[in-house]
Structure 1
Amino acid sequence: MLLTTFISLTTGKMSLSLGEILDVLFGAGTDRNETIIFQLRIPRIVPAILIGTVMGLAGAAMQTLLRNDMASPGTLGISAGSGLFVMLVIAGFQVTSLPSRFLLPALAFIGGVTAALIIFLLAYRRQSDLSPTSLILTGVAVGMGNNALSLIRTTRLNRSNITPKQVPSKIQKAPESSKDNSRARSLLNMVRSRGLEPPRLLHH
């Protein structure tokens, strides 16, 4: 981690030497180097270290809970629940009052906790231990459901963003048959330009 941090501090569009970095840290650096270190590189390095640490802890917790060395938060569908909750809140309620750097992590945390509670409630059975197998199966099912809901919502958002003004009038008024014929002619010309003989079926 120390080596990666050192490389991140020294390399970039404007490379800095070890001496220049030490001068900046001890208050003897130039304004340009201070801007590069304190405003550009350190604000990226510190969150990367924290996020990597948290992801490692989450993976270790999942592996211990499920008794599986390949387990991760994505195995139980917790990550999918976080993404779904963020998308539903932002798209449904159009929340714009808080900056995204505060809003998105909070929404993702709430969605992940909610998904985890749902999975544990569905996998729990009275008078029996909570087995890793039931957790994994329930988590996979809930994760697939969350992914499906996210895909449906994303598709609807993409369709709603396309307005008639964004589509040329010629394309709107062109019948399907003319568009199909135009595509067929384009494909036929491309085949002929490469010196190939198109199948006879395309001539009709």
Structure 2
Amino acid sequence: MIHPRIRRKQRILGVCLVVLILFITILALGLGAASIEWNRLGPTFLGQGTFKEEFVLFSIRLPRIIITLLAGAALALSGAILQGITRNDLADPGIIGINSGAGVAIAVFFLFVPIEAGAFAYLLPLVGFLGATITSVLIYLFAYSRKNGLQPMRLVLVGIGFSMALSGVMVVLTSSAKQEKVDFISRWIAGNIWGTDWPYIWALAPWLLILIPFALFKAHRLDMLGLNEAVATGIGVSIERERAILLLAAVALAASAVSVTGGIAFIGLMAPHIAKSLIGPRHQMNLPIAILLGSFLLLLADTIGRNILEPSGIPAGIIVSLIGAPYFCYLLIKK
């Protein structure tokens, strides 16, 4: 049973994060190369803006913000699931190679498969999921031991090795490609949020509408997987089956996000860890907070990166890495 004080604290944190997200959203809507006066945002939403204001708001800013919020939530939830099934706070889809696997698959698809522009947005999450699934299965097999089962630290180390190897594969793929395609892949690697049109939202949203409720439904299973394996088995949990199902959910969340945002790491590391420190280890309590934190962190990083250096800005992935890399080192030393 969860203490009422913890539930009240979760609600307060949730409201505070929603207010912060709304505040950053309003800032992001007004800031940029083609700025909109903040007192014009309301009339423009109501259809009383000029052509320029409506174009900037509905065709450029709003789709980008929604994509960023959805992707941040997906990456945070993916990281929380990975940390739960491995019992390791250092697990993250970017660090352990899942994002790199999705990236290589997307690069191969983009470079070598002719596809109509209209279908491109909807196929990318599927291609990313396929690449991330193959990578995660290989990482799982290399980190698994018949004697000791899945070893969390070994999984992180194997994942880092796969991430580096796949980065090399990406370099080989781009070495002989056309310049415009190399530019796209380079931006993807840097974590530049590029899928900023409405079709990418319709492509990403169904994955989250299915997987977020599924993960919240499985929150109690994640708590049980955090127990000693003998204890978890004794209370009737099929450990390997639950791990496999939840791992697939984490892979799908990460792949769908990075297919439109590029290779963004550390959101899945920081958001779940901060959520646990704020609300405690119960996944039923910390998963919703982690989701909101992921959306907030990625939107904040993208807003800073988009406006800090004109005209092209700095990719959100680089801004996140500037914060996340020291945080990862702190956790590594602490553990």
- TM tier, smaller: 0.5 to 0.7
Instruction: Provide the secondary structure at the position in 2 that maps to 1:69.
Output: coil
Q: 1:61 aligns with which of 70, 81, 84?
A: 81
Q: Distance in 2 between matches of 1:12 and 1:152?
A: 35
Instruction: Provide the secondary structure at the position in 1 that maps to 2:49.
Output: coil
* More divergent stretch after superposition (77-86 vs 120-129): 120-129
Aligned equivalent of 1:38: 58
Deviations 1:113-167 (A, max 9, x none): 2211221123223353312022123223322332232223333447xx9xxxxxx
Q: Distance in 2 between matches of 1:98 and 1:111?
A: 21
Aligned equivalent of 2:137: 117
Q: Distance in 2 between matches of 1:10 and 1:115?
A: 40
Ranked by relative contact order (alpha carbons within 8 Å, sequence separation 6 or more), the top structure is 2
The one-letter code sitting in structure 1 at the alignment partner of 2:106 is: V
Q: Give 1:6 deviation, angstroms.
A: 0.4
Q: Is the 8 A contact 1:8 1:41 kept in 2?
A: yes
Is the alpha carbon distance of 1:145 and 1:65 closer, same or farther for their aligned partners in structure 2, counting shifts above 3 Å? same
Indicate whether 1:20 and 2:40 are aligned. yes
Query: Any gaps of 5 or more consecutive residues in structure 2?
Result: 1-20, 182-335
Q: Is the 8 A contact 1:66 1:136 kept in 2?
A: no
Q: Distance in 2 between matches of 1:153 and 1:13?
A: 34
Q: Distance in 2 between matches of 1:131 and 1:67?
A: 9
Aligned equivalent of 2:223: none
Query: Any gaps of 5 or more consecutive residues in structure 1?
Result: 162-204
Aligned equivalent of 2:175: 155
Q: 2:166 aligns with which of 128, 141, 146?
A: 146
The one-letter code sitting in structure 1 at the alignment partner of 2:72 is: G
Aligned equivalent of 1:6: 26
Q: Distance in 2 between matches of 1:147 and 1:15?
A: 37
The one-letter code sitting in structure 2 at the alignment partner of 1:27 is: G
Over the aligned positions, Cα root-mean-square deviation in angstroms equals: 2.7
Aligned equivalent of 2:114: 95
Instruction: Provide the secondary structure at the position in 1 that maps to 2:115.
Output: coil
Q: Distance in 2 between matches of 1:131 and 1:83?
A: 26
Q: Distance in 2 between matches of 1:36 and 1:70?
A: 39
Identical pairs, percent: 30
Q: Distance in 2 between matches of 1:153 and 1:15?
A: 38
Q: Distance in 2 between matches of 1:148 and 1:32?
A: 43
Q: Is the 8 A contact 2:145 2:151 kept in 1?
A: no
Indicate whether 1:82 and 2:102 are aligned. yes
Work out which of the two has the higher radius of gyration on C-alpha atoms and give 1 or 2: 1
* More divergent stretch after superposition (135-144 vs 4-13): 135-144
Q: Distance in 1 between matches of 2:36 and 2:116?
A: 39
Q: Distance in 1 between matches of 2:34 and 2:157?
A: 50
Q: Give 1:16 deviation, angstroms.
A: 2.8
Deviations 1:30-71 (A, max 9, x none): 333222221221121111111111122222223333434343
Q: Give 1:82 deviation, angstroms.
A: 1.2
The one-letter code sitting in structure 2 at the alignment partner of 1:101 is: A
Q: Is the 8 A contact 2:99 2:132 kept in 1?
A: yes
TM-score norm. by structure 1 comes to 0.65
Q: Distance in 2 between matches of 1:31 and 1:98?
A: 26
Q: Give 1:112 deviation, angstroms.
A: 0.9
Instruction: Provide the secondary structure at the position in 2 that maps to 1:64.
Output: helix
Is the alpha carbon distance of 1:7 and 1:155 closer, same or farther for their aligned partners in structure 2, counting shifts above 3 Å? same
Instruction: Provide the secondary structure at the position in 2 that maps to 1:15.
Output: coil
Deviations 1:4-46 (A, max 9, x none): 1001112233433343211122333333322222122112111
Aligned equivalent of 2:253: none
